[in-house]
A and B are shown apart, each in its own frame.
Chain A
Amino acid sequence: MRAALAITRNDLHRRLRDRSALLVALVLPLALAGIFSLTLGDVTDDEVMFEYALVDADGGAVAQAFRRALGEIDAIHLTPDADAAAATFVVPRGFSAAVEAGRPAHLDVVGDPDAPIGTLVGEAVAAGFAEEVRAVAASVLAAHGRGDPAALARRAAEVPSPLALEDVSAAQKELDARTFYAAGMAVFFLFFTVQLGISSLFEERRDGTLARLLAAPVPHWAILTGKIVTSLVIGIVSMTVLALATSLLLGAEWGNPVGVGILILAGVCAATAVTALVATLARTQEQVASWQAIVALVLGMLGGSFFPVGQAGGLVATLSLATPHAWFLRGLGDLAAGGGVGAALPAAAVILAIAALTGLVAVVRIGRLVQP
């Protein structure tokens, strides 16, 4: 074990001096997470706020209920400045009376062509309110034989917000944009970072130092162990630093530290095992570099490091479950939903199973890596 640790120590010492290693392990993931958060964060962030104007030409009870309903939606802010609004709700005169009488009523949404998303959200809000009011009106009519304006307004105000869809349990398990991109980039680059350990055997073969290691009184397993431990240490350190850095610099919220630690450990094991497996299939340094890059890229894309493919459904969502990335992000989502350490365990178990499976195949083939 002394020799294995000496090899790990030597590798870490050399990697610390290698600027390209620091670039891949820390700078690139941090920079990309920052860029994605800044450019895409506003679109996907739960705390996004749309500005709307409301023109109430009706002034009736139903119109007032609509104003109150809008006020209860977190993502909507009513502004008196129609020019600053993504859309303007127009409640025409006679709206309440028409609703109360059970006649067709119109609630208009005037959108800003430059704010299509805000306009769409406004339309959805208005449509949702109209649906609910129609249901309430029908209910009140059924109960009282004719519309009771006071009861109608009261019931309309009590109906769930049209944006209640945001409150379904699945949404609570999603990471906010900053955390998603921080974790996504971290796990994506992890598959490049761990290559600095096991794949350096190809570099040693090129430089002739592998022959020197093999001629030294060092068992083959100690050389391999030293390289694998290097991968594990670099992976754990880079992930931990990225978790801390993105929390401090980008405001990412990774969740329960112990749970995050478990997920990181599992993720690093999986990345190391997958990388080792790819290395055992390659013959040259060029092959191993390109193959590992392809595998890292495909797994990262499929696993949802860049966008949440799991929400796309279908085959892609199913395939993503074969990647450690998807389970890593899912585990963080479970932690973000408020679960304790235990919430991370199912995802960590799946990641470790992937690590065990790929690692087992790698172990069978790994002897060929220690040949001069």
Chain B
Amino acid sequence: MWAMTSAAAAARARAILECRGLRRSFGDLVAVDDVSFEVTGGETYGLLGPNGAGKTTTISMVCGLLEADAGEVWVAGQRLTTRAVEAKAAIGYVPQEIALYPDLSARENLAFFARLYGLGRADTRQRIGDVLGLVGLADRADDPAKEYSGGMKRRLNIALGLLHRPRLLVLDEPTVGVDPQSRNAILESVERLGAEGIAVLYTTHYMEEAERLCDRIGIVDHGRLRAEGTRRELVSLVGERDRVLLAGTGDLHAAGEAAAPVRGVLNVSEVDGALELLVGDARSRLPELLATVGAAGLAVTSVEVQEANLESVFLHLTGRALRD
């Protein structure tokens, strides 16, 4: 018989979501392979990976839509399976595709799901008002959803996930196909939720969203969790090396030889008539670098600094770009 150790029990008590060794196959394709992570209250955890990496399959198991072949999901201290009715009450699910009744208004859509989640009449009224306000749809609450723009539908999609005050909100690529204005509104809503103490699991293939929203990020590729941690921790995996591109006129070769010994410079190469340097903490080293190459005879006409980011981390970990 399985017994939980006191340490594990304490960890589980802190974590709103705990996934351990999740695995799921479809025929010969292993969509999710030994994925483990946890999300605590008030934390926004991002699953970052390209399309087909296994993010949606992972979320489907987290929300009880798919049974895992192996591994466990615990939500708010309860084991979650496809038939775990009580555990599901702690989850707010925002699927990747817009999932609402187009012939019903926003208010009617919300009222229906409020009944399914067992909200009382007064509570339902209040929560509908709250979430409509949160996503900015209060003035269109009684219009049929089919008359909404794509961005408005997306926002209603999120409101449906938030309605019953979930302890864990799961958002699966909520900004796909959304205009910049609605996208920003969605991101602001998610930022507020984290501040309210809700645990948020957020999947995306947009690096900028993961960097902006997530306290911790798990990098997923080919069904496996390649690395996880804060942005700083992940970037440190590639040594926080920035890429500096110097273009100009003059002796490139001599400038390169002069720049190589500068402190922080890790590598120098000539690329398409410019100097490419890998530099640790490029912003602080830039004045010294410019002075050195100038003294070596290079009249610099443009400077480009690319700081290490999750894109470079993903490239480092998987050997391919995030959007491949």
Contact = CB atoms under 8 A, between A and B. Distances in A.
Contacts of B65: 211, 214-215, 372
B99 interface: yes
Contacts of A17: 103
Contacts of A219: 83, 85
B99 A209 contact: yes
B82 interface: yes
B88 interface: yes
A116 interface: no
B100 A217 contact: no
B116 A218 contact: yes
B178 interface: no
Interface residues of B, number: 30
A216 B100 contact: no
A140 B66 CA distance: 91
A14 interface: yes
Interface stretch (B90-98, B216-224, B311-319): B90-98
Interface in B56-73: 60, 63-66
B88 A14 contact: no
A76 interface: no
Interface stretch (A2-10, A51-59, A312-320, A338-346): A2-10
B58 to A, nearest CB: 14
Contacts of B91: 215
Contacts of B86: 217
A216 B115 contact: no
A114 interface: no
A23 to B, nearest CB: 16
Given A216-B113, A217-B88, A207 B102 contact: yes
A167 interface: no
Contacts of A3: 115-116
Contact of B64 (A9, A14, A214): A214
Name the prevailing secondary structure of the A interface residues.
Answer: helix
B116 A18 contact: no
A217 B88 CA distance: 5
B95 A216 contact: no
A212 interface: yes
Contacts of A10: 101, 112
A215 B66 contact: no
A80 interface: no
A220 interface: yes
Contacts of A215: 63-65, 88, 91, 93, 95
Contacts of A257: none
Contacts of A216: 88, 113, 116-117
Contacts of A18: 103
Nearest to A212: B99
B160 interface: yes
Interface hub of B100, B103, B108, B112 (most chain A Cβ within 10 A): B112
Interface in B131-190: 160
B118 interface: yes
Contacts of A82: none
Interface in A212-241: 212-220
B99 A6 contact: no
B85 A218 contact: yes
Contacts of A208: 95, 97-100
Contacts of B118: 2, 217
B82 A214 contact: yes
Contact of A217 (B85, B95, B98): B85
Interface in B37-76: 60, 63-66
B64 A6 contact: no
Contact of B117 (A14, A209, A217): A217
A173 B102 CA distance: 49
B201 to A, nearest CB: 13
B113 A212 contact: yes
Interface of A: 2-3, 6-7, 9-10, 13-14, 17-18, 207-209, 211-220, 372
Q: Which 10 pairs across A and B sit closest by C-beta, in order of nearness?
A: A208-B99, A215-B93, A217-B89, A6-B115, A217-B88, A208-B97, A215-B63, A216-B116, A217-B85, A212-B99
19 contacts: A2-B118, A3-B116, A6-B116, A9-B115, A10-B112, A13-B104, A18-B103, A208-B95, A211-B95, A211-B99, A215-B64, A215-B65, A215-B88, A216-B88, A216-B116, A217-B116, A217-B118, A219-B85, A372-B60
